[in-house]
């Protein structure tokens, strides 16, 4: 499944890219408010879900989130980020589902998986 980046997220990416290229010495001290934007979080959640993420240390699956209400879950995550009360859970080290011989993989909670693409966007 291929996801297309929403126009609003593309505009944010372009603006950040342009600023970084035009002013290489500029420091982006105020990116935190971009992380909890609704459009950015929604797209990041969709990317994580499309990537087939599994339950992490909190044993929460995408099916659990859908049953709870993805919109409600994202709103709560956004409020935690906005109020700066969000605290990531520890990462559990375990064998991946396919029992790969490459070693142990870190398994983070889904909300951390959902935030990873956000941080890559900014």
Q: Which residues lie below 8 Å from residue 91, measured CB to CB, with a gap of 6+? A: 56, 57, 106, 107, 108, 112
pTM above 0.75, yes or no: no
Dump pLDDT digits (tens) for 38-65: 999 999 888 888 887 777 778 888 999 9
Q: What are the structural domain ranges in the chain?
A: 7-121
Q: Quick check: 85 and 116 in contact, CB under 8 A?
A: no
Sign, CA torsion 100/115/75/19? negative
Q: Is the pLDDT of residue 27 over 90?
A: no
* Residues in the chain, overall count: 122
Q: Which has the closest alpha carbon to 88: 99, 80, 96?
A: 80
DSSP-assigned letter for residue 115: H
């Amino acid at each position: 499944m291929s996801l297309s980046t929403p126009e609003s997220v593309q505009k944010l990416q372009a603006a950040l890219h342009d600023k970084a290229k035009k002013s290489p010495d500029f420091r982006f001290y105020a990116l935190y408010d971009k992380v909890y934007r609704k459009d950015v979080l929604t797209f990041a959640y969709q990317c994580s879900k499309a990537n087939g993420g599994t339950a992490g240390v909190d044993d929460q699956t995408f099916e659990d989130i859908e049953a709870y209400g993805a919109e409600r879950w994202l709103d709560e995550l956004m409020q935690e980020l906005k109020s700066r009360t969000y605290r990531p859970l520890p990462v559990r080290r375990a064998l991946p589902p396919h029992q790969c011989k490459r070693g142990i993989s870190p398994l983070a909670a889904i909300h951390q998986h959902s935030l990873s693409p956000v941080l890559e966007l900014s």
